[in-house]
Amino acid sequence: MTIDTAVLELSEAHTDAMHELYRYLHANPELSMQETRTAAFIQEKLDGLGLETFRSGGTGVVGILRNGDGPVVGYRADTDGLPIAEDTGLDYASTAAGTLPDGTEVPVMHGCGHDTHMTVGLTVAQLLTENLNAWSGTVVFIFQPGEEIAAGAKAMVADGLWDRAPKPSVIYGQHVWPGRTGTVDISKGTAMAMADSWKVTVHGKQSHGSQPELSIDPIVLGAHMVVRLQTVVSREVHPMKSAVVTIGTFHGGLKENIIPASAEFTLNVRTFDPEVRELVLGSLRRIISAEAAASGAPEPGIEEISSFPKCYNDPDTTTELMKVLGEVLGDDAVIESPPVMGSEDFGLLAEAIGVPSVYWFFGAHPKELLDGDAPVPGNHSPYFAPAIEPTLTTGVRAAMAALLSRVGNGA
């Protein structure tokens, strides 16, 4: 449909309310899959607007806005914070704390900017509710928990999200990032990397440090694994394809004169191509197992920590969307970008019902900051502080444009 741009204009009252909402959400982050207060807050807001709501996957919230006959379109915003001590110095900075699943007490911050996503989602729900005569159809809002640990989309789908909500013909989502505020970046095709994380337990045999002949040293063995795993990318992946294998932690032993019974490391793999992913994961398993055999050690344990699916922007839907975003934000504000190495579980929501989806990024930082000499804080930094405007307004306009371009015409 052609977009009635008057609907995209935020009044001063809208803007003030949106900023207040943002500051509140920023100051009250919760850890992944523990977003209980956040979920209750969102559901109350959506109920207040008159949307049909239900909970899904624990702390997931779905809001359905029905407005007569017409296409069904989905919009997703994620809701979780991170275990980071905020150091932005903002007067609305978070001082919240939380408890990780292993019992560790941690400070919590909306260090990935999911507070901007919720603020945009709720504001869009309000604008669409106030302008029912400008469009027709149904919009399904998905406020998804647990993005940071790739748990939320999976939990919502497993909890029957698509048995309860009408199935959209397309799902949109967006993420704030350290680009120029007022602009959006979008990729055609693959948008983000797949990411797989494992915990590997290397089993050995304990002995006194002076008696290596009685041991199977899991530290020496683990070190060989770590070194050999580096060859997967350099020696097994096609030079024109890309992959990353990072071993982020390695722990073993308690004392210099004891060879420990086991050691443990965690690794993270990033790939863009499902075939490369299969190849890399298969090679990792082969090497981990074979190195243990070479040391005469028992089979190591491999435990999956998380698995982020592919995030793929349907090319035709993306081309249409870029045109619409150009009309609304200005052609200069819409940048076609290469895929990023970050990962997302957004793709699962659309994959579960076989419909296209598009995911883009909206900028957080003013040009002056980006042009300066100082390094610019990005997502997951304790200093990540998106400029409130025009960041939020851009997010709202982009989301509104995407949704309105796919629903039906109004009265």
Binding residue numbers for Mn(2+): 112, 114, 148, 175, 380
Residues 296 and 365: their CA atoms lie apart, in Å, by 54
CB of residue 78 vs Zn ion: minimum separation in angstroms? 6
Q: Does 350 bind Zn ion (CB under 5 A)?
A: no
Nearer to Zn ion by Cβ, of 62 and 112: the residue is 112
Binding residues for Zn ion, total number by CB under 5 A: 1
Nearer to Zn ion by Cβ, of 112 and 329: the residue is 112
CB of residue 380 vs Zn ion: minimum separation in angstroms? 6
Nearer to Zn ion by Cβ, of 112 and 237: the residue is 112
Q: Does 112 bind Zn ion (CB under 5 A)?
A: yes
CB of residue 101 vs Zn ion: minimum separation in angstroms? 17
Q: Does 364 bind Zn ion (CB under 5 A)?
A: no
CB of residue 74 vs Zn ion: minimum separation in angstroms? 18
Give the residue ranges of the annotated binding site: 112, 114, 148, 175, 380
Phi, psi of 175 (to 5 degrees): -135, 135
Stretch that binds Zn ion, among 110-118, 192-200, 218-226, 285-293 (CB under 5 A): 110-118
Stretch that binds Zn ion, among 105-113, 182-190, 232-240, 357-365 (CB under 5 A): 105-113
CB of residue 379 vs Zn ion: minimum separation in angstroms? 5
Angle between helices 36-49 and 114-130 (to 10 degrees): 10
Residues 42 and 48: their CA atoms lie apart, in Å, by 10
Nearer to Zn ion by Cβ, of 291 and 344: the residue is 344
Instruction: Point out the residue whose Cβ comes nearest to Zn ion.
Output: 112
Q: Does 109 bind Zn ion (CB under 5 A)?
A: no
Residues 235 and 287: their CA atoms lie apart, in Å, by 13
Nearer to Zn ion by Cβ, of 151 and 219: the residue is 151
Nearer to Zn ion by Cβ, of 112 and 276: the residue is 112
Q: Does 31 bind Zn ion (CB under 5 A)?
A: no
Nearer to Zn ion by Cβ, of 398 and 407: the residue is 398
CB of residue 246 vs Zn ion: minimum separation in angstroms? 16
CB of residue 106 vs Zn ion: minimum separation in angstroms? 15
Q: Does 263 bind Zn ion (CB under 5 A)?
A: no
Q: Does 176 bind Zn ion (CB under 5 A)?
A: no
Q: Does 108 bind Zn ion (CB under 5 A)?
A: no
Nearer to Zn ion by Cβ, of 112 and 142: the residue is 112
CB of residue 147 vs Zn ion: minimum separation in angstroms? 6
Radius of gyration of the chain (CA): 24
Contacts to Zn ion by CB under 5 A: 112
